[in-house]
Structure 1
């Protein structure tokens, strides 16, 4: 998805906001459009997290059976990267709450 307010983050697998001004500087119509689009994107975040969690489980299963030290290190690194992405997605998932609080303040 490409538009003026969002750009796809390949690492996270979702479009992220690329706002070039403070929230209050957008007119109400723009704010509503941004929030509506973000809600659609945000709604997909749990599915992306679930898919990453499945990858972690698969990597952990491979790690359990891995005897090669170098390969074990690579699997551990991959697991850590996936966990990092999940943490970031959780943070982005909460962004809507902050926007909603601003809108109602």
Structure 2
């Protein structure tokens, strides 16, 4: 396995993509908050066997991870303005899901 660089870090031999460092801290913090709540929702849905809730929670996690730059196209290959706009769009969508 390759060594970590500025794009990745390794935990227990597994390589993970880093959060986009260009994101404004308030946006990144809000996305991390959604991700944490989504992870808790996944655990709860698995515990109760609620497939619809599990699907919704995984969708939220995916949105948060994409917004943070941890999934999707490598953030280091895209213009910074586009990455920040995508993060803000993901956050707006997540905030909208929470309002429902």
TM range (shorter): 0.3 to 0.5
Higher-Rg member (1/2): 1
Determine which structure has the larger helix proportion and give its number: 1
Higher relative contact order (CA 8 A, sep 6+): 2
TM-score normalised by structure 1 residue count: 0.41
TM-score normalised by structure 2 residue count: 0.42
